[in-house]
Each structure stands twice: as C-alpha cells, then as structure tokens.
Structure 1
Amino acid sequence: MSEPSDEEASATTGDEEPGKPGEPEKPDPATATGKSEAGEQKPDSDPFEAFAPVPETVPGRVRRISTRAATGAGRFLGHEWTLAAIGSVLLAALMTWPTLKHPASTIPQDIWDPTLQAWQMSWAGHVLTTDPAQLWNANAFYPNKYSYAFSDTLLGYAPAGMIGSGPVAAVVRYNIIFVLIFALAFFGAYALARQLGAGRIGAAVAGAAFAYAPWRLGQAGHLHVLSIGGIALALAMLARGHGFSLTKGYEPDKRRWGWVVAGWLVAAWQISLGFGIGIPFAYVLLGIVLITAVLWGYRHVRVWAVTRPFGWKLLLANLGGGLAFAAVGALMAYPYLQVLEQHPYARRSEEILSLFSPPIQGFFISPPESWLWGDAYASARQSLTWAPEMALLPGFFLYGLAFAGLFVSTWRIRHRVYLGIGVVVSIMLAMGTHGPGDGEFGYLALYRALPGFDGIRTSGRLMVWTTLFLALLAAGAVSAFARQAVELFADRTQTDIGTRAGFWPRFATLIPLVLVLIEGLHIPYPTNPAVPKAPIAMSTLQGPLMVLPTDELTDMNIMLWSTDGFPKMINGGSGFTPRNQEELRLAMQQFPDEASVTALRDLKVRTVVVIRSRAVGSPYERAIDAPIDGLGLDRTEQGDVVLYKLTD
C-alpha cells in the first residue's frame, strides 16, 4: 500500500489547525468532494465529479459574434485614425461656425459664387441620375454647348448632389460640404505628416495650418479653391503604400499596393473637383513619379534580379492607378478643350494673369475675414490692386514654426532643405508676373510651356503648396520639441512628483497648435448672409426662358433657383461670359421691343421673367410695364414677378 499523503495524515491524526474565534469553520475537503469520511460516495453527488473538473461553459454563436463585434468596434473607435477623423469634423464645425447654425437659409461668405457652386453640385447629381449623356450641356447658358465646363465643376461632389432636390436642398448640401472640406484638409495633412514621421501633436499642427491658414478665409466663397484635402490625403496614401517616410526612408517590408491604388483614386477624385487646383497637382505628381523613377532606377536596377526591392504588385498598382488618374484627367479635359475651341477668348491672357499676380508683400498681408489680423492690415490691403486674391498670409505663427523647423526638427537636414526650397519656389511661382524677371523665370515659363496653365487666372492659388511645405516644416519642429520634452522628464516619470512635473512640458507642446488655430479664426457675423429666395417656382415655367435683370452675379442666384426643375435658360454666370450671351443681355435692355422679341424667338425662348424689385433702377427697368401691343406677348403679374409668354 502507498503511504498516506500529508493532508490525509493530518486529517486522520487530528493535527489540523483549529479555527480562530469568530471565523466560520473550514469545510472538510472530503465532504467538499462528495465523499463521506470513510471515503464512500454520497448518493446525491455526481460520480464523475471526483475524477474530472466541471466542464467549462462554451458561449453560444450569438454571444461569440457579439463579443467579437464589441471588441472590434472598441478598437475601431479608439484607433488613432478614427479619433483624428472625428476630431477633424468636430473642429471644422467649430472653426466654420455659424455655417451649420442655419444651413437651409444662409451660405458662407457671400450670395454669388457660393450659389453658383451649389447649382454645380445639384446639376451633376441631377443629370447623372436622369440623363448622364448631357452632363456637360447644362441647363444654364442656353443654347451654348459644354456650358458645365465654363468654370471649375466640382464634379467630384456629384454623389452629394444626388441627395435631395430644389434650392433649399442645394443650400443645405453646400453648407455641409463646406464644413467637410475643412475637415478633410486637416485630416489629409495630419495623415501626411504622420506617415512622413511626425508626432501626433506635430501632425495636428500641420493639419491646422493646412486647413485654417488665414489666406483661405479670403477664399471662403470659392469652394473649388478650398477643396484641397484630397491633395494631402493622396500623397499620404501613396507614401504609405510605398513604405516611405522622411524619418526612415524607403522600407520595402512596409509597402502595400492597396494603399497605392487608393492614393491614385483619391488623386483622381481631387482633379475632378476642378483644374484651377488640379492642374498644378497633376504636374507635381508627374514630377514625383519621374524623379522617383530615375532615383530608384539608378539605385536598384543592378540588384533587381536578386532582391526585387520594388515588387511587381506595387509596379502594377502604380501603372493601374496612374492610368485611372490620367483617364479622369483626360475625360475632364475634353469638354474644356471644346470650350476653348468655341470661345477662344476664354483663355487667360498674360494681361489678365498680370492683373491678379500678387506682390511679395501680399504674403504678409491678412484678408479682412481674419479675426486676429484682419483689422490690423486694413491699410496694407489698400496697396494691393486686387486684395481678395493677393492677401495671402499663411500665418505669422506658421512662419515662425517653419523657420524654427529649419534648425530643430525631426526631419533630416537634407529634407528640411528640400522643404525650405519648396517654400521659396512655390512663393516665386505664386507671384506670377511679379516673380523673378517679371515672371519670365517663374510662372510665365510654366504658363507658356505646360498645357493647362493658360486656363488658370490666379497664380496666387499656388499658395496651397507654400502652405503645405510650411506646415510640414512646422510639424517637424513641433515633433522635435515634443520628443525633447518627453526625453527630458523620462527618468522622473516613476514618481508622482515626476509625473506632475512632466505634464507641463507635454502640455506646452499644445501651444503651437492653439496659436495656429487662433490665426485661422474668422469674423463670424458678416460671413453668412441669407440666401435670396426664388420669386417664382421655376419648375412651373416653360423653357427655354430668360430672367431679368441679368448680369454675371445676379445670374448665379438664378442658377440656384433653377435647381427647381432645371429648365433651360439663357442666364448663367461663370469665369467668362460667352459673346452671344453678352449680346443678348445688351439687347434685352430694350425689352419688350421688336428687336429683343425677335432675338428671343430665334432662340426659341418661350418665357421671360422680370423680377420687379431687382429691375427697378437697373438697365432692365423698362421691362416692368412697357407697351407690348403687336409684339406677340402675353403679360401677367404674380407678386414681385412680371411674367411674359411668347405666343406663336
């Protein structure tokens, strides 16, 4: 027989320790296992319990799925990119306030270009769901063809244009997109800075500088100029897909062909928003591709057969993505080329370019919409011939941080030099005809050599690239400051005193972010005027029609009203005025008379709408109550509207 264990010996000899007073008596181990003191099995106990543990309860399928979903949702919601995206939207809503206060009745900046752009999004959404073949032949500017290409189209926002209909929906849609483009600009620059190797706070500074630079406040009425987030986001995705950063260089094990494809698709979407910003972006991408191909070929062609440092998947992803980008660019370019062929005067001449070229002091002058600097630079803006396009201050705090980033940075010295050169070159190009040699060695060289630049009116919008280079320099500086703050107190974080002492240096790294955001604040009260309401339901009118009075700005309001049914109409406002429209506007100043009515009949116009309150005091005042005998017109009045019908 085997020797009894220590526990069995103590149980039989009575050597167990007696319980202390007031404590419950410990259960007998034998009793706990279902055995009697003699070792016999109790009748009411499980006979297998003594030989095996109770089986573990296995959760059901529903519970397993819900647990995985909860865990995945928690990881997703707590991920850096999710928090960055949510924070970008919340910050944009705050920085653009009160845009979302009355989104159905007010619009940012003014009631001219924004109403045109609200129409653009609505038209794209409407025609792509009804008659896609007529996309470029819009209802405005009748009877001109390719009229949707008379200005930057914002075609990339067409999916939003498919939601809702009518002027109110168009205004709500515009206001939501207006807020989201600031969020995308912040998020795109944040992602780019992080991918290149910046810390979180440094990347946030880059995002804030790129999205809320003071010069962008002066462009608040130009949605196509503000829509730059796709530039930074596409560059971030392409860098991530190629495993490239400024701090670690090229890391082949981190390359991901899916991110490369995504980057090219975002770039294609960006160029679909308009060529004013898109053409320089396309040439920048082309330059990056060519330079990268040359450098990579020089360094790796000899070892390709051995190491394949690039990879076929990545190569095919670039070829496919690049072709998709080129295809979108070509499809967008075709209607614009047709417009230039039919209206050659729409091409921007060197005289027009000179008129809008900013001088060097413009890069240090704030637009009037700036809360911090607007009033301080009121007199300085008077020295500019066209202040809305020449007050291009990216931010004094940003200038300071970028300058510091040349000397103290998380980037390598040669990368700081490249970014600094980018700042200088982009400013020289943005100066247009005020650049070196009156622009002969700068923008004019691009204007004359590269297709597409002759369609850009304002060279100052290249400030997009100046701001991006400055933002990356600033991100490098702030990241270095934050890292040094952490290293300085790393050996003191084990004690409470050290933890409290280390909090303040970390908190101090947020100061640059706050300063950059303060520079981006706008004066809220005059920047969201009420949108004029349509005086008559446009869907009830028989087209083609014409609304009086008519001019470039007034017609932008009329275009918004036409989203109620999209009737064909003569009216339309854009970056240029077709000659036939200009001639008819002049003739209609004598309406109703025989010449103007004949001109309308030749164009098969059936309806003329005169807005009484706007016509009074204008060249079209005669149309309110002039005699119509013998002209084949029927005239009725509906409130503020005088309605003419051309009879057969």
Structure 2
Amino acid sequence: MARLLLNHLRWGPGTQFWCAGGCFLLLAVFHTWPLATGTVSPTHDDVWLNAWAVAWIAHQIPRNPLQLFDANMFFPHQGALVYTEPLIIPGLMAAPVLWLGGSPLLAHMVLVLLGYTLTALGMYVLVRKWTGDFRAGLLSGALFAFCTELLMRTAHVQALHIYWLPLAFLAFQRLMERRRPRDAAWLGLCVIGASLTSGYLVVFVCFALGAAALARVTAFREPGGARLLLQLGVAATGTAAILLAVLWPYVQAGHERPPVTEAADLAMALGSYLASGAVFHQGWSADYAQSSPRTLFPGVVMLVLATVAACQRRRVAPFGARRMLLATAALGLLLSLGSFTPVYTWAYELVPPLRGLRAVSRFGILPLFALATLAGIGLSGLRWPASPPRRSLVAIALLLLATGESFHGWGSDPWRDTAGRIHRFLATSSWPGAVLELPIYQRRFGFHRNARYLLASTAHWRPLVNGFGGYAPSDFDDNAHVASGFPSVLTVKWLQEIGVGYVLIDLDHYGNRMRRKLNELDKRRDLALEAVDGATRLYRVLPHTPRVIEALAPVPNLSQLRFAGGPAEGSMLRAAHGLRQAFGFQSPRRFIAYLESTRADAQLVLRFPAPMSGWFFDAATGEALQQVTVRASAATDPPASLYPPAGRADLLLDLRPQASEP
C-alpha cells in the first residue's frame, strides 16, 4: 500500500479515486476482522433487525414495490416498515447478494464493509475536491469513517452509510460558488438519498446544511444572492415533494417522542466527547465510555490537525469552508446535549422531524465530521521544505497512526442463523395464515428479543405477529399480552379471527407447566401439532370453535373488542390477585375474561360504567359454573371486587349489562 501511495503523484484523479477506495476497503476489513471471512456475525438484536429490513426490501421490490412498506411484522397492522429505519438505499445495495442466494446476515456483512468504504470515499471526494490533495482526502476519509463512534456502531448499518453528509456539503459549496441549477439538483439528490437511508441521517444532513447556510449568510446579500435563494428554494421544494411521495407512510405515522436527555447531567453528556472504545484510549477513557451515552472522542490525530486548520492563515479549502465546518460542529455539539441547552428545545418545537429521534446524542457525529474534514484541510495546508515523496511518507505515517489509534479490537462472535427447519417448512406449507412466535416480548420487557423472529421469518416471509423497531403500534403490548395466553381458548379464538395460521413455541423459554398444557392439547380441535424440532413445536390453528366459546352466545368477535387488563386508562379489568394469569376483551356492552389457575384467595378488581351480570364457565368443558352480578363504579368510586371459583385450571368470565340479560 505504501508504494502505491508514494506513486500517487503520477496518477490521474480517476486512478487516485480507485486507489483510495481500495485503501478504505482494506481498512474496513482490518477494523471489522474477521467479519469479512463470513464465519462470524455480531449477535446483536439490531443486526438481526437491520438484516431483516434489507432482506425485506430485496424481497419486495421485484414482487410488489407499491407495497414496500407493508413489511411482515406487527401483524395484523399494515405499513409496518414505518416502525423502523427505511434502509431503502442499503437494501438496494444488498439486493444482488440476496437475489444470488446469500443470507440476510451475509448481506448485512457486505453492507457494513460498503458503509465504511463509501463513507470514507465520500469524505475523500469532499476533501480532495476542496484541497486538490490526494493525501488529505485519504486521511480525512480514514479519520471519519473509522472514528470511534462509527466503529462502535457496526450493528447499526444505517449509521455507517453516512456518505450523503460529505456529498451534500460538496454540492452545497459548489452551489454557493457556481450557482448552477445542476448543483442545486445534486444537493437535493443527496438529501433524498439520506432520507432513503436513515431518518436520523436526513435530519443530520439538513441541520448541517442549515448551519453551513448561516455561516455563508453574507453570500445571499451579494449580487446574484436572490437567484441563489431561488435555486435553493426550488431544490428544497422539489426534494420535499419527492420525499413526501415516497415516504408518505412515515408522515402518516407521525412518530413523536418527548424532549429527551440521555445523560443524567450535563457533565455526563459532555463526557461523551472524552469517551472512546479504542484500545489505545482505554487506560484513561474507559470510565467515560461506561457512563456516557455515546463514544465521541475524535482522537489525537484528528484534533491536532483540525486545530492546525482552524489556525492556518493560508487558505487551502474554498472560501467559507472553515466557517461552515465550525458552525456545523458547534450546532452538532449543542444538539447532542439534548435538553441541557435551549438550542435543542427550540429546535424540537420548530422542526417536527426532530421529535421522532430517540437518541439526540447521535448529533455528535456532526462535530466528528467537521473535525475530520478540517484535519484534511490542516494536512493539506502544512508546508515544509521536503520533497513530495517525503510528504507522502508523512501522510502514510499519519494514516497508520490514526488507524492504530482508532483500533477497537477484533470480535469473535460465531455465525448464528436464527431460522430453523420449522421456519423453512413454513415456506413450503400450503396452510394459509400469519405466524406467531412464542415467547413474544412486550415493549416494556425485552422488546428487542423479538428481533430474532424477524430474521427467522426471512425463510418464509409469512406475516408475523411479533415485531421490533424504534417504534411499535400502540396496541402491540395488548396483542402480546393476549398472545402470551396461548394455548387458552380465548387466545386461540383471537388468533383465528385475526388470521394467524401457525403458532411456533420455543419450550426452552418455558417451564414444565407449559409442557404439561401442550401435552393435553390432544383433546382440543382448534389446534393441531404440525412439527417438532428439538424444543420447538409448531401448532396449526384450525377453524374450530370450542364448546365454551359457543356457550358465549352470541359468540363475540374478539378482534372488534378492546383489550382489558391492568391499570391502563379505560380498562374494566383493573387488577387480578390469587391466580396465574388474567386478561380479557371489553366493549360498552360486553366483557369477556380468561382466568388461569385460581386459588382460594383469587380476586378480580373491576370497574364498570353500568351494572353487569353473567357467568363463570369452565374453559375446558364449557360448563356454566357460577352466575355473578357486578355493580357499577364511577371513576370516583372504589372499584368492585369479584371472586371467581377457586381451584380451577381455566375459566372464562362473560358479562353483559343487566338490562340486556335474557
């Protein structure tokens, strides 16, 4: 590599570009080793989520691109892709790997290497165009793409594909200088590309461009400034129109979060800029890395050269470039501190997309981008009496020093495929319906564990009740609660109604009680054991109505009722004591609950707007056991208590307003 770099002065720009790309690919392989061997894969829930997302895009684009957002999770909801990052650009990049038979994890591995390489190339192009210096571009690309923040986020492939940021800066600078419609169009394309890659990234790009525009505000008062504003306005309008057309489902979803601060105090938030995951920094930075929300330490090489650039009088980059970069760094720093500064609070109120971000500390990537660019400018601006080969040797030494400083160590996680024989069987089965995988995890308890089910679903692509992402449907926890009641007759009735055809349960996550319950299913006609693979069982959901459900005349449509359980506002079932499990469904004129393993002290705490009456039924036989009446209780009254029959394995409670009792 050193010999090639020493000969760069004899190459044209195209050869230099490909040489830089080769160097960056080698650095990506080095920093992520042994990922490129295909024998390891990070066992991280976000890896499985993103591998599933890019596989879905590659699966759906050639089949039904108009239904791209109807991803196969969070069934029965449609448009489920809006609950995670779009990843459309990375998905298109990975599509050939998947179309040729590669696995989603292999596609993710390719995207990791491409992300680092292309991000470094984007920085190289920016600094090379600005300074005309191959060596400066090479160093800036390596400093930014392999900074500690990005090397710590290998699982988040969308965070690695950040090349749109330097390319947008290049297009903006050219527009400011040349004022050509072509440059405005390129700027719009960069923003569109960022939007189709990551929701975070497009916000970063837009804020960075806003800071750059403020730094160059005097340009709009110069002759031709009105034309420049018009070009920017046309580019912004066209970009917004295209994005609204393509990403309208995200706009409809309207994801919002309250203003957030990830650190306990301002000192901890600022500590992120001293936190590093690099081996070289562990001696002094480990405490910051453990207590801070992010690892944003730029590194000594980046800091020294960026300082040189800030202090240089000799102009190497285009006019205003340093001001734009310093403004971007300052804005990114302030926003990364969250609500500890008024800047974030003001921006939160004024810029709606900012309300959808969960981790505002990720704005720290903007100071790193600015410093890495300034470092290249600083290197290019250095002048000392030495021959070009010796200057190249210095650049190589700095590149090697930066590589050593940013080295994070090598992982060794074994390759893990979450799809088993049963998942592959589902791809060939003609029995229709969605799939429920158990255990299912609610947002409050291990939500991330649903990610392995998403990756496994790429073997069959059936709709999946499970799901995972930055957001979830508002009723997901309720659905997960009901699904966790499997194999109760009420749960199976609900599964039949929403269109679930198979239930796949991993008994390694359950105790002997669940095994005993499943072994007794031979008496049931609404479920059939389809396949067994070790501790995993596959049950087919059959269109049969158990006797106890028929006893609930008229038979309710559970999918049209609201979930009842726990202290949630409006729930008629406020609490349950002395039993293993209780959940139900409700409407103003119907309340149905499932109760499991009632003890002598079993008690239901209920709140009804009107008096209700009905029966307890044995869930296995349908036998009516006990007639009950429950008083009404207003919001200011204490709730009513109901005591179910003790010593029963499974009960159903069916209540209706007294006035409608036959």
User: Quick check: 1:145 aligned with 2:145?
Assistant: no
User: Quick check: 1:610 aligned with 2:505?
Assistant: yes
User: Quick check: 1:427 aligned with 2:333?
Assistant: yes
State the shift of 1:623 in Å: 6.8
Matching residue's letter, 1:276: Y
Q: Is the 8 A contact 1:352 1:457 kept in 2?
A: no
Match of 2:273 in 1: 363
504, 508, 530: which is aligned to 2:394?
508
State the shift of 1:419 in Å: 3.4
Matching residue's letter, 1:349: P
Q: Is the 8 A contact 1:213 1:519 kept in 2?
A: no
User: Quick check: 1:339 aligned with 2:272?
Assistant: no
Q: Is the 8 A contact 1:166 1:565 kept in 2?
A: no
State the shift of 1:111 in Å: 3.1
State the shift of 1:326 in Å: 2.0
507, 516, 539: which is aligned to 2:427?
539
Moved more, 416-425 or 274-283: 416-425
SS in 2 for 1:569: coil
Q: Is the 8 A contact 2:24 2:142 kept in 1?
A: no
State the shift of 1:156 in Å: 1.6
Give the distance between the partners of 1:374 and 1:527, measured in 2 at CA: 22
Matching residue's letter, 1:379: D
Match of 2:524 in 1: 630
State the shift of 1:332 in Å: 4.8
Q: Is the 8 A contact 2:215 2:323 kept in 1?
A: no
State the shift of 1:205 in Å: 1.8
Q: Structure 2: give runs of 5+ residues left out of the alignment.
A: 1-9, 442-446, 544-662
Moved more, 182-191 or 586-595: 586-595
Q: Is the 8 A contact 2:212 2:324 kept in 1?
A: no
Deviations 1:575-613 (A, max 9, x none): 133343212222333311122112212212111011233
Deviations 1:352-375 (A, max 9, x none): 7667996111110113xx332346
Matching residue's letter, 2:405: E
Give the distance between the partners of 2:331 and 2:490, measured in 1 at CA: 55
Q: Is the 8 A contact 1:548 1:608 kept in 2?
A: yes
Match of 2:25 in 1: 89
Match of 1:156 in 2: 89
Match of 2:343 in 1: 442
SS in 2 for 1:638: strand
Give the distance between the partners of 1:619 and 1:572, measured in 2 at CA: 26
Query: For residues 479 and 618 of structure 1, do their structure 2 counterparts lie closer, same or farther at Cα, with a shift above 3 Å needed?
Result: farther
Query: For residues 472 and 352 of structure 1, do their structure 2 counterparts lie closer, same or farther at Cα, with a shift above 3 Å needed?
Result: closer
Query: For residues 598 and 122 of structure 1, do their structure 2 counterparts lie closer, same or farther at Cα, with a shift above 3 Å needed?
Result: same
Query: For residues 467 and 153 of structure 1, do their structure 2 counterparts lie closer, same or farther at Cα, with a shift above 3 Å needed?
Result: same
Q: Is the 8 A contact 2:296 2:365 kept in 1?
A: no
Query: For residues 323 and 196 of structure 1, do their structure 2 counterparts lie closer, same or farther at Cα, with a shift above 3 Å needed?
Result: same
More contact order relative to length (CA 8 Å, sep ≥ 6): 1
Match of 2:194 in 1: 270
State the shift of 1:202 in Å: 1.8
What is the TM-score normalised by the length of structure 2?
A: 0.71
Q: Is the 8 A contact 1:261 1:320 kept in 2?
A: no
Deviations 1:474-506 (A, max 9, x none): 11221122xx13xx146xxxxxxxxxxx75454
Match of 2:655 in 1: none
Give the distance between the partners of 2:518 and 2:298, measured in 1 at CA: 49
Give the distance between the partners of 1:431 and 1:404, measured in 2 at CA: 26
Deviations 1:139-169 (A, max 9, x none): 1111112210101120122323543359952
Deviations 1:1-54 (A, max 9, x none): xxxxxxxxxxxxxxxxxxxxxxxxxxxxxxxxxxxxxxxxxxxxxxxxxxxxxx
Match of 1:133 in 2: 66
Q: Superposed, which structure 2 residues align to 1:155-234 within 5 Å?
A: 155-163=88-96, 164=98, 168-197=102-131, 199-234=133-168
Q: Is the 8 A contact 2:274 2:297 kept in 1?
A: yes
Match of 1:279 in 2: 203
Give the distance between the partners of 2:532 and 2:183, measured in 1 at CA: 58
User: Quick check: 1:300 aligned with 2:195?
Assistant: no
User: Quick check: 1:348 aligned with 2:348?
Assistant: no
User: Quick check: 1:99 aligned with 2:23?
Assistant: no
Matching residue's letter, 1:205: L
Match of 2:542 in 1: 647
State the shift of 1:234 in Å: 3.0
Give the distance between the partners of 1:623 and 1:201, measured in 2 at CA: 68
Match of 2:357 in 1: 456
State the shift of 1:110 in Å: 2.9
Q: Is the 8 A contact 2:263 2:269 kept in 1?
A: no
User: Quick check: 1:467 aligned with 2:368?
Assistant: yes
314, 329, 334: which is aligned to 2:243?
329
State the shift of 1:421 in Å: 4.3
SS in 2 for 1:447: helix
Match of 2:440 in 1: 550
State the shift of 1:212 in Å: 0.6
Provide the identity percentage: 20
Tell me which stretches of 4 or more aligned residues in structure 1 moved more than 6 Å.
Answer: 74-77, 354-357, 618-623
Matching residue's letter, 1:424: A
Greater share of helix: 1
Give the distance between the partners of 1:522 and 1:275, measured in 2 at CA: 27
Give the distance between the partners of 1:637 and 1:92, measured in 2 at CA: 43
Give the distance between the partners of 1:535 and 1:618, measured in 2 at CA: 24
269, 288, 297: which is aligned to 1:380?
288
Give the distance between the partners of 1:629 and 1:322, measured in 2 at CA: 65
Larger radius of gyration: 1
Give the distance between the partners of 2:54 and 2:12, measured in 1 at CA: 32
Q: Is the 8 A contact 1:410 1:476 kept in 2?
A: no
Q: Is the 8 A contact 1:76 1:82 kept in 2?
A: no
Give the distance between the partners of 1:272 and 1:622, measured in 2 at CA: 49
Q: Is the 8 A contact 2:211 2:331 kept in 1?
A: no
Q: Is the 8 A contact 1:589 1:620 kept in 2?
A: no
Query: For residues 631 and 540 of structure 1, do their structure 2 counterparts lie closer, same or farther at Cα, with a shift above 3 Å needed?
Result: same
Give the distance between the partners of 1:394 and 1:528, measured in 2 at CA: 31
SS in 1 for 2:528: strand
State the shift of 1:350 in Å: 2.4
Match of 2:471 in 1: 576
State the shift of 1:115 in Å: 1.2
Matching residue's letter, 2:259: E
State the shift of 1:238 in Å: 4.5
Q: How many residues align?
A: 520
SS in 1 for 2:104: helix
Matching residue's letter, 2:112: F
Q: Is the 8 A contact 2:261 2:337 kept in 1?
A: no
